[in-house]
Structure 1
Amino acid sequence: MGVGRVVEVAQSLVQGFVALLSAPAHIVLVGLDSSGKTTVLFRLRYGQYVNTTPTVGFNCEKVKSGGAHWLVWDVGGAERVRPLWRSYTRATDALVFVVDSSSSAERVEEARVELQRLSKQQVAECVAHNRPRPPLLVLANKQDLPGAREPQHLAKALGLPDLPECQPWAVAPACAVTGEGLDEAMAALHTLVLKTRKQQKNKK
């Protein structure tokens, strides 16, 4: 192989490696209906409030937030479509579970049940394919509304402290309508994703 060809191959490998490193992380927004998932997505994408309608299927956008690029899937949260979450969350880099912080105790309990169910599905998927658990960010949305629960209280109500130690998680306050707290929340998620990737790399 000539010197020119060697240089060409080396450049191709470097470019491929750089592309791999800069590829946006794949994340999925899930949560109960009316929790504000689509408002979160469009706020991240367009930097402003966009009036939305209930998501029947899914929305997908590339966004930049929290110092990272993301490919974000927003999946409908109506009860009849929640069984589809499993299909979208396979092999994802991270999960964002959006919760209406001002909702009733019954709705918070409903969110807890769905989150725990999803967590168990993730365990089975990761064990079957020998993958690390994707980081989980619980977004305590609608902090601007009266009676909104503080993130720490919401974390306890959702059973986050009871998740297995191998499950990285964080909870962050936000208001998707104004955008307040979203960039900080995505920065926290980015930190979790990088930490998970580093741990996986060290195991190899």
Structure 2
Amino acid sequence: MAFVMDWVYGALSFLGLYQKSAKILFLGLDNAGKTTLLHMLKDDRMAIHQPTIHPTMEELNIGNIKFRTFDLGGHTQARRVWQDYFTTVDAVVFLVDASAAWRFEESATELQSLLGSDELADVPFLILGNKVDIPEAVSDEELRFQLGLSGLTTGQDGGDLGGVRPIEVFMCSVKMRQGYGAGFNWLANYLS
């Protein structure tokens, strides 16, 4: 257990979340990798997970770190309760299976609905194009286009945006432990 806590402390420090408190929603369609990512962040383990049927919350408290994540599931019925969790949310991590082109339109519809929500108007959005290790995965540019984000993203440098809501796409492979660290590091710039 001490190893896991040391790893989590190190991971959160690396991800820029040290001494920060945040409520982060993990959203996206079913099978995008939300639960897998959450477990990778929690205890650095890769496992096969059943589809998320009920919303789950993971909270990590290590020293001055308080990191709460909510995995709300992505199947059609689960999406109906997403808005119940918008209150006092600090960030949204929206995962998309970058290898499932047949689901891009559905992902775009859900993402655009979230971006248009008054309750989330000032909330930073980290969009993770997951599963880039699969040959059918699209490029960063193609994913932006398919999700209707061309011209809307704010840059990966994490700088001051002068009141503009931070929105950015990072391509990743949760399975290969690649890419999402840079995304969370970017997101940490916009968490209080």
The alignment's TM-score, normalised by the length of structure 2, stands at 0.77
Given the alignment of the two structures, is residue 113 of structure 1 paired with residue 109 of structure 2, yes or no? yes
Is the Cα contact below 8 Å between 1:25 and 1:70 reproduced in 2? yes
User: 1:87 deviation in Å?
Assistant: 1.0
Three-state SS of the structure 2 residue aligned to 1:27 is strand
SS in 2 for 1:40: helix
By how many angstroms is 1:152 displaced? Answer: 2.3
Contact 2:153 2:168 in 1 (8 A): no
1:139 equivalent in structure 2: 128
Residue matched to 2:147: 158
- CA separation of 1:184 and 1:162: change in aligned 2, threshold 3 A: closer
Quick one: which of 12, 23, 26 aligns to 1:26?
23
Summarize deviations over 1:56-99 as a string: whole Å, max 9, x none: 112222359xxx76311111100112121111122211001000
Q: Supply the RMSD in Å over aligned alpha carbons.
A: 2.3
Within a 5 Å distance, the mapping from 1:54-203 to structure 2 comes to 54-62=51-59, 70-104=67-101, 106-121=102-117, 124-125=118-119, 133-161=122-150, 163=152, 166-191=164-189, 193-194=190-191, 197=192
Moved more, 71-80 or 93-102: 71-80
Give the whole-Å Cα distance in 2 for the aligned partners of 1:74 and 1:42.
11
Give the Å deviation of 1:163.
4.6
Which has the larger Rg? 1
Matching residue's letter, 1:79: T
Structure 1 residue 167: deviation in Å? Answer: 2.7
Q: How far apart, CA to CA, are the structure 1 residues paired with 2:133 and 2:66? A: 27
Matched with 1:17 is none
Distance 2:153 2:87 in 1: 19
SS in 1 for 2:68: strand
Question: How many residue pairs were aligned?
Answer: 163
SS at 1:61 equivalent: strand
One-letter amino acid matched to 1:125: E
CA distance in 2, matches of 1:147, 1:139: 16
- Does structure 1 retain, via aligned residues, the 8 Å contact 2:153–2:169? no
Structure 1 contact 63–71 (Cα < 8 Å) conserved: yes
Give, in angstroms, the shift of residue 23 of structure 1. Answer: 4.3
